[in-house]
Amino acid sequence: MITPRDGAQSVNGGYMYPEKFFGLSTDTKPSGVANGSEFFEIDSGKSYTFDYAGGDWYEGVPDPGVGGGGGSGSDSMFVVTVTTEVVDEVLTATADKTLEETIAAYEAGSHVLIHLVDYGTKYEVFPEYDGDYFAWLVSYVSSASGDHGAINLYSYEWYMEGDAEVINIELFTFYADDNS
Protein backbone atom coordinates (compact mmCIF):
# COMPACT_ATOMS: atom_id res chain seq x y z
CA MET A 1 0.00 0.00 0.00
CA ILE A 2 1.37 3.43 -0.89
CA THR A 3 0.38 6.44 1.18
CA PRO A 4 1.49 9.95 0.20
CA ARG A 5 3.59 11.63 2.90
CA ASP A 6 1.23 13.43 5.31
CA GLY A 7 -1.76 12.27 3.23
CA ALA A 8 -4.99 10.61 4.30
CA GLN A 9 -5.53 6.89 3.94
CA SER A 10 -9.07 5.52 3.50
CA VAL A 11 -9.77 2.77 6.06
CA ASN A 12 -13.18 1.19 6.71
CA GLY A 13 -15.09 4.17 5.31
CA GLY A 14 -13.10 6.72 7.34
CA TYR A 15 -9.71 8.33 7.02
CA MET A 16 -6.45 7.79 8.90
CA TYR A 17 -3.47 10.10 8.72
CA PRO A 18 0.17 9.09 9.22
CA GLU A 19 1.27 10.03 12.72
CA LYS A 20 4.61 10.57 14.42
CA PHE A 21 5.28 8.80 17.72
CA PHE A 22 8.15 9.16 20.17
CA GLY A 23 9.09 6.73 22.92
CA LEU A 24 11.78 4.50 24.36
CA SER A 25 13.18 1.38 22.71
CA THR A 26 11.47 -0.64 25.47
CA ASP A 27 8.02 0.83 24.69
CA THR A 28 5.47 -1.17 22.71
CA LYS A 29 4.91 0.48 19.36
CA PRO A 30 1.26 1.26 18.55
CA SER A 31 -0.71 -0.97 16.20
CA GLY A 32 -3.53 -0.17 13.82
CA VAL A 33 -2.06 3.19 12.84
CA ALA A 34 -1.98 4.65 9.33
CA ASN A 35 0.46 3.47 6.70
CA GLY A 36 3.66 5.54 6.81
CA SER A 37 3.33 6.46 10.50
CA GLU A 38 6.70 6.94 12.16
CA PHE A 39 8.11 5.93 15.56
CA PHE A 40 11.32 7.51 16.88
CA GLU A 41 13.14 5.82 19.78
CA ILE A 42 14.47 8.68 21.87
CA ASP A 43 17.06 6.57 23.73
CA SER A 44 18.47 4.62 20.75
CA GLY A 45 18.00 7.18 17.97
CA LYS A 46 16.39 4.53 15.71
CA SER A 47 13.42 5.37 13.51
CA TYR A 48 10.69 3.01 12.31
CA THR A 49 7.97 3.26 9.64
CA PHE A 50 4.64 1.40 9.85
CA ASP A 51 3.37 -0.85 7.04
CA TYR A 52 -0.43 -0.94 7.41
CA ALA A 53 -0.96 -3.85 4.99
CA GLY A 54 1.50 -6.09 6.83
CA GLY A 55 0.88 -4.64 10.29
CA ASP A 56 4.63 -4.37 10.97
CA TRP A 57 7.12 -1.64 11.91
CA TYR A 58 10.28 -1.49 9.77
CA GLU A 59 13.50 0.20 10.79
CA GLY A 60 14.19 3.37 8.86
CA VAL A 61 12.17 6.42 7.95
CA PRO A 62 12.12 8.04 4.51
CA ASP A 63 14.24 11.17 4.31
CA PRO A 64 12.01 13.96 5.65
CA GLY A 65 13.93 16.38 3.43
CA VAL A 66 11.62 15.11 0.67
CA GLY A 67 8.46 16.21 2.44
CA GLY A 68 9.92 18.64 4.95
CA GLY A 69 10.83 18.43 8.58
CA GLY A 70 14.50 17.80 8.67
CA GLY A 71 17.93 17.90 7.21
CA SER A 72 19.68 15.31 5.10
CA GLY A 73 18.34 12.06 6.53
CA SER A 74 20.27 11.93 9.80
CA ASP A 75 18.61 10.25 12.79
CA SER A 76 19.62 13.05 15.17
CA MET A 77 16.76 15.13 16.56
CA PHE A 78 16.92 18.84 17.43
CA VAL A 79 13.94 19.67 19.64
CA VAL A 80 12.68 23.24 20.04
CA THR A 81 9.96 23.98 22.60
CA VAL A 82 7.65 26.79 21.48
CA THR A 83 5.19 28.10 24.05
CA THR A 84 2.21 30.30 23.22
CA GLU A 85 0.48 32.68 25.57
CA VAL A 86 -1.76 35.72 25.44
CA VAL A 87 0.02 38.95 26.40
CA ASP A 88 -2.03 42.17 26.41
CA GLU A 89 -4.76 40.40 24.40
CA VAL A 90 -2.27 39.33 21.70
CA LEU A 91 -1.31 35.69 21.06
CA THR A 92 2.49 35.43 21.27
CA ALA A 93 4.99 32.60 20.98
CA THR A 94 8.47 32.13 22.40
CA ALA A 95 11.08 29.45 21.61
CA ASP A 96 13.62 27.93 23.99
CA LYS A 97 16.27 27.86 21.24
CA THR A 98 17.33 30.63 18.89
CA LEU A 99 16.47 30.58 15.21
CA GLU A 100 20.21 30.67 14.43
CA GLU A 101 20.80 27.49 16.52
CA THR A 102 17.86 25.77 14.86
CA ILE A 103 19.01 26.61 11.33
CA ALA A 104 22.54 25.41 12.16
CA ALA A 105 21.19 22.09 13.48
CA TYR A 106 19.00 21.67 10.38
CA GLU A 107 21.87 22.44 8.03
CA ALA A 108 24.06 19.93 9.94
CA GLY A 109 21.48 17.25 9.09
CA SER A 110 19.37 17.07 12.25
CA HIS A 111 15.61 16.60 12.11
CA VAL A 112 13.97 19.67 13.65
CA LEU A 113 11.02 18.86 15.89
CA ILE A 114 8.80 21.62 17.27
CA HIS A 115 7.36 20.71 20.67
CA LEU A 116 4.49 23.21 20.74
CA VAL A 117 2.73 24.03 24.01
CA ASP A 118 -0.46 25.89 23.11
CA TYR A 119 -2.87 26.77 25.94
CA GLY A 120 -1.61 23.72 27.83
CA THR A 121 -2.16 21.36 24.86
CA LYS A 122 1.01 19.80 23.49
CA TYR A 123 1.69 19.15 19.80
CA GLU A 124 4.72 17.62 18.10
CA VAL A 125 5.31 18.86 14.54
CA PHE A 126 8.09 18.74 11.96
CA PRO A 127 8.30 22.21 10.39
CA GLU A 128 9.07 23.01 6.78
CA TYR A 129 12.21 25.10 6.12
CA ASP A 130 12.66 27.10 2.92
CA GLY A 131 16.06 28.69 3.57
CA ASP A 132 14.58 31.83 5.14
CA TYR A 133 12.07 30.62 7.71
CA PHE A 134 10.52 27.61 9.43
CA ALA A 135 6.76 27.13 9.05
CA TRP A 136 4.26 24.69 10.52
CA LEU A 137 0.52 24.19 10.91
CA VAL A 138 -1.58 22.95 13.82
CA SER A 139 -5.30 22.25 13.53
CA TYR A 140 -8.04 21.05 15.83
CA VAL A 141 -11.80 20.73 15.85
CA SER A 142 -13.44 23.04 18.37
CA SER A 143 -15.92 21.48 20.76
CA ALA A 144 -16.96 24.81 22.27
CA SER A 145 -20.68 25.40 22.60
CA GLY A 146 -22.11 26.96 19.45
CA ASP A 147 -19.06 26.17 17.27
CA HIS A 148 -20.68 23.05 15.74
CA GLY A 149 -17.28 21.44 15.14
CA ALA A 150 -15.46 24.46 13.76
CA ILE A 151 -11.99 23.63 12.45
CA ASN A 152 -9.27 25.96 13.72
CA LEU A 153 -6.02 26.11 11.77
CA TYR A 154 -3.01 27.91 13.23
CA SER A 155 -0.21 28.86 10.84
CA TYR A 156 3.22 29.57 12.39
CA GLU A 157 6.19 31.23 10.67
CA TRP A 158 9.53 31.71 12.46
CA TYR A 159 11.95 34.13 10.81
CA MET A 160 14.29 37.09 11.30
CA GLU A 161 13.08 40.66 10.85
CA GLY A 162 16.13 42.84 11.04
CA ASP A 163 17.94 41.76 14.21
CA ALA A 164 14.79 40.41 15.88
CA GLU A 165 13.37 36.88 15.79
CA VAL A 166 9.66 36.75 14.97
CA ILE A 167 7.18 33.91 15.39
CA ASN A 168 4.13 35.02 13.45
CA ILE A 169 0.84 33.24 14.20
CA GLU A 170 -2.28 33.39 12.04
CA LEU A 171 -5.61 31.75 12.90
CA PHE A 172 -8.05 30.51 10.28
CA THR A 173 -11.44 29.13 11.36
CA PHE A 174 -13.70 27.07 9.13
CA TYR A 175 -17.32 26.38 10.07
CA ALA A 176 -19.41 23.47 8.88
CA ASP A 177 -22.71 24.39 7.24
CA ASP A 178 -25.56 24.00 9.70
CA ASN A 179 -28.55 22.86 7.67
CA SER A 180 -30.88 22.32 10.62
For Cα atoms 111, 115, 117, give the angle at the middle one, nearest 5 degrees. 165
Within a domain: residue 128?
yes
Can you name the residues that pair with 70 across neighbouring β-strands?
Answer: 111
Within a domain: residue 129?
yes
pLDDT score of 125: 84
- In which band, very low, low, confident or very high, does the pLDDT at 159 lie, cut at 50, 70 and 90? very high
Is residue 143 located within the same domain as residue 85?
yes
Over residues 152-162, the mean pLDDT reads: 89
d(CA 105, CA 127): 13
SS3 105: helix
Give the pLDDT confidence of 67-78 residue by residue, as tens digits.
344 444 455 788
d(CA 177, CA 52): 34
Please state, for a pLDDT cut of 70, what percent of the chain lies above it: 74
Over residues 84-102, the mean pLDDT reads: 89
Q: Are 9 and 17 in contact (CB under 8 A)?
A: yes
Q: Are 48 and 59 in contact (CB under 8 A)?
A: yes
Can you name the residues that pair with 5 across neighbouring β-strands?
Answer: none
Within a domain: residue 71?
no
Is residue 14 located within the same domain as residue 98?
no
pLDDT score of 64: 43
Is residue 114 located within the same domain as residue 160?
yes
pLDDT score of 174: 80
pLDDT score of 79: 87
Q: Looking at residue 104, what DSSP letter applies?
A: H
Q: Is the pLDDT of residue 2 over 70?
A: no
Q: Looking at residue 71, what DSSP letter applies?
A: S
Within a domain: residue 16?
yes
Q: Are 35 and 9 in contact (CB under 8 A)?
A: yes
Can you name the residues that pair with 150 across neighbouring β-strands?
Answer: none
Within a domain: residue 4?
no
Over residues 60-89, the mean pLDDT reads: 65
Is residue 85 located within the same domain as residue 162?
yes
Give the pLDDT confidence of 94-135 residue by residue, as tens digits.
999 999 999 999 998 888 888 888 776 777 888 899 888 999
- In which band, very low, low, confident or very high, does the pLDDT at 56 lie, cut at 50, 70 and 90? confident
Which of the pair, 6 or 154, is modelled with greater confidence? 154
- Boundaries of domain holding 39: 9-59
Within a domain: residue 3?
no
- Name residue 57's amino acid: W
pLDDT score of 149: 66
Within a domain: residue 32?
yes
Is residue 50 located within the same domain as residue 105?
no
Beta strands in the chain (DSSP E): 9-11, 14-16, 20-23, 38-41, 47-51, 56-59, 77-87, 90-95, 111-118, 121-125, 128-129, 134-141, 151-161, 164-174
Mean pLDDT of the chain: 76
Within a domain: residue 155?
yes
pLDDT score of 147: 54
Q: Looking at residue 29, what DSSP letter applies?
A: P
Q: Are 133 and 157 in contact (CB under 8 A)?
A: yes
Total domains present in the chain: 2
Q: Is the pLDDT of residue 3 over 60?
A: no
Over residues 31-37, the mean pLDDT reads: 80
Is residue 152 located within the same domain as residue 92?
yes
